[in-house]
Structure 1
Amino acid sequence: MQKNSIPTDRAELRRCVLQLFADRGEPLLLHEIARAFGVSSDSDEYELLRDVLLELTEEGVLVRTRRRRYALPGMETVFYRGRFVVEPSGASYVETGNPSMPRIIVRRRFAGTALHGDIVEVRLLPTPPRKPQRGEVVRIIERNEQPIAGTLESDGSFYFVVPDEEVYPFDFLVAAERLGQAKPGDKVLARFLRWTSPQHNPEAEIIEVLGRPGRALSEFESIYREFQLPRTYPPLAVTVAETAARTPRTVGEREDFRSWEIVTIDPPDAKDFDDALSLELLSNGNMRLGVHIADVSAFVPEGSPLDREALERGTSVYLVDGVVPMLPEILSNDACSLVPGKERFAYSVLMEFRPDGERVSYRITESTIISKRRFTYEEVDRILERGEGDHARLLGAIDMLAQTLRRRRFESGGIDFSTLELRFELDGNGEPQRAYMKGSTRATRLVEECMLAANRCVTEHVSVLS
């Protein structure tokens, strides 16, 4: 339907409405029907459309569903396709990707033989008004092929894999001839085979023995394999990365901030330093906060094998014992990393603030910087507490601004999401020696507020551009 294309003739409008339902093949809300005709809710055409819908409903040509949608008779049984998702809590639903029905709740007894990650077809079930829509899985379209990590067990009669992930609320039976070299108690990787009935357990086969459970190497290996985390890069991607890292680079048209007092603040075990901070007191009494983000795009040619590999990975994955980087380490930990004393390319977000924390202006620019010092959070906390140490004046000034920004944010309705984080101390073999809780500190809050301020500027900037 085209905008403002609603027929003024009542009979013609009835025909167009019925054609709309035939084309869409699903129940529709009044405002969805109006939008299809390009009709606003405050117009005379909207009232005409409402009258025609009521007329068709009274005649039985259309029906009204429990969720206030109009539909052709028989259309109430609507099917959606989507990904079946199981939360660790046991809650399950189907993500459809359909804006009119993005999520359908599926209780376990209505899930059939669906497994987490499967692509399924789901039928809508009667649902009380103002309650999340419920549904029932009626068909498995495509099985999730991700391997299942767990521990092989036996009760004397049967072998079964107890999954590590709570998204599988049941064990997987393994026939004796499908054990391979696995023994009860082994950490294993299993492949799903079949599941014929919800009254029985699904079946699987062992495809790899990872070691004994509880050992760090076995547990880490199971994570890598289960989530198919890549540990190598395609040769062509590596070649592009090595070439980019070796290519000499000059300041060129970038703004030159190499003389600025710029520092990084990261956890003690950080390998890649992707953001840095600066602060300058201006002659008008304001402050210019700089958040400098490593410019990775300068090293990744668009459309190259390296670009495609980064797109496939999407992000770096951080584990207790290390990281699976999105880019080869020659870039992520070296050429792109804002290591101290080295010229590095960055995107700089420069924000001018009044003493009361009100932002006056901002600009975003490509830059070349040199970090003057790499700090850990603990080092910054000690300097802020004592008021002395390397770059103490800079850190103190940033901290004062961060506290002001934080106070303004809370006064305007901001939410404090600070939580305790469980951290582990590992020995040289990756075995945990100590577990402890890590909370927020002045240093972490300092960095958080600076990043929030920069993110807000970038969001506004992109919003204006779009």
Structure 2
Amino acid sequence: MSKKDGKKNQKHPDKLITGVIDVTRSGIGYVIVEGQEKDIFIRPHNFNRALHGDTVKVKISEARGKRIEGRVEEVAERKQTEFIGNIEVNQNFAFFIPDSQKPMPDFYISTKNLNGAKNNDRVVVRLLNWDDDEKKPEGEVVSVIQAKDLNDMAMKEILVENGFPLAFSKEVLNETAQLTDTINEDEISRRLDCRDILTFTIDPIDARDFDDALSIKKLSDELYEIGVHIADVSHFVKPETELDESGFERATSVYLPDRVNPMLPEKISNELCSLRPNEDKCTFSVIFHINKNGIVKDYWLGKTVIHSNHRFTYEEVQQIIDDKNGLHSDEILLLNKLAQQFRSERFKN
């Protein structure tokens, strides 16, 4: 939005403007609009349930001189839905006091949503809802943080403060529990069946999920077929499901020094979509024909079903290359030779 656009918005106060609200320590807010020179001033009573960092839609209520003032009409997207803080438990209800350098309301917690939390516990709370006529949002305890483990607390705070939920909702977990690793014949018939081709994965020694694999097949003395396969997550995560929505909101797995905060439940990433040995798996694949000089002659992309024969580590494969001996050494040495030729050919171009 240009400076000219900002002036247009002042002349058309009914137009909703989208931006990110920045709440100061004193409690007032400013909505920052990309490309607009002036921020929009928001008084606390005009936040309309917006919290610091939320993406909001604002209606301009006043434009005098250098200052533009407005009111939040809608919270378009929460910066975060989980918060860390302390809980105060009474006989019939509880209040959660979030840690924040910015002004924030306490959360109301029903006793049915305490999930084992006790008075003065340090907890992670998920925002459930915030009705128009309520001054406080309602939340549920996701987990109790054990204060003795300072590293665990620090890692969780990093995730929560950056908008990454620590746990999956009950709805997401219930959907995941219904998924099975059985691939029926109808599904197989819709895919290219590569289960009889030598296939293996190569990953770090401590990897828990194996999401890509290689296959190789000799077509002639001059030509080879190589497949690069990646787990077909869409076989399990269907559009407009709780799983799909959760994955969209998380967008990525987060890798910290001592843990992974996954984008999808571990049953999917570590089991259903992990290309483990001796299991049939649904995959997306690029299959190409390459000659002995490393030149690609033909390729195909599409859905496949594979069956991994072995799980290698990087160290094991490097040892086979160095020793020129070991399990599937002929295929690994050939792949290494073709990869070097392919790389050399790419550098020429």
Question: If the length of structure 1 is used for normalisation, what is the TM-score?
Answer: 0.47
What SS is found at the alignment partner of 1:245? coil
**What is the alpha-carbon distance in structure 1 between the residues aligned to residue 140 and residue 282 of structure 2?**
45
Quote the Cα distance in structure 2 between the aligned partners of 1:278 and 1:316. Answer: 27
1:270 aligns with 2:207: yes
1:126-175 Cα offsets, whole Å, 9 max, x none, are: xxxxxxxxx977443445463444799xxxxxxx9765xxxxxx455899
5+ residue gaps in structure 1? 1-26, 28-64, 87-91, 96-102, 124-134, 153-159, 164-169, 192-202, 413-466
1:15-414 to structure 2, matched below 5 A, reads 81-84=17-20, 103-104=34-35, 115-121=52-58, 138-142=70-74, 144=78, 146-149=81-84, 163=100, 170-172=101-103, 181-182=119-120, 210-212=145-147, 215-222=150-157, 223=159, 227-231=164-168, 233-234=170-171, 237-238=175-176, 240-241=178-179, 244-246=180-182, 249=185, 251-252=188-189, 254-283=191-220, 285-299=222-236, 308-314=241-247, 317-320=253-256, 321-324=259-262, 326=264, 329=267, 331-354=268-291, 357-407=294-344
Aligned residue for 1:278, secondary structure, equals: strand
Q: Say which one has the larger Rg.
A: 1
Distance 1:284 1:294, change over 3 A: same
More strand by share: 2
Structure-2 change in CA distance of 1:75 and 1:404 (3 Å): farther
Cα offset for 1:119? Answer: 0.7
How far apart are 1:277 and its partner, in Å? 0.6
Residue type of the alignment partner of 2:262: V
Cα-to-partner distance string for 1:184-209 (whole Å, 9 max, x where unaligned): xx677698xxxxxxxxxxx9999976
Pairwise CA distance, 1:268: 2.8
Cα distance in 2 between the residues matched to 1:353 and 1:122: 60
Amino acid at match of 2:72: I
1:369 positional shift: 2.0
Matched residue, 1:450: none
Aligned length: 287
SS at 2:225 equivalent? strand
* Structure 2 portions without partners, runs of 5+: 23-29, 44-50, 61-66, 88-96, 107-117, 128-135
Amino acid at match of 2:81: Q
Greater relative contact order (CA < 8 Å, ≥ 6 in sequence): 2
Which secondary structure does the structure 2 equivalent of 1:388 belong to?
coil
**Higher helix fraction (1 or 2):** 1
Question: Which SS does the other structure have where 2:285 is aligned?
Answer: strand
Q: Could you say what the CA RMSD is over the residues aligned between the two structures, in angstroms?
A: 4.9
Structure 1 383/292 Cα, relative in aligned 2: closer, same or farther at 3 Å? same
The AA in structure 1 aligned to 2:35 is I
Counterpart contact for 1:93–1:104, Cα < 8 Å = no
Question: Does the 8 Å contact 2:288/2:296 carry over to 1?
Answer: yes
Percent identical across equivalent pairs?
23
CA contact (8 A) 2:9 2:15 kept: no
Q: Confirm or deny: 8 A CA contact 1:188 1:206 kept in the other structure.
A: no
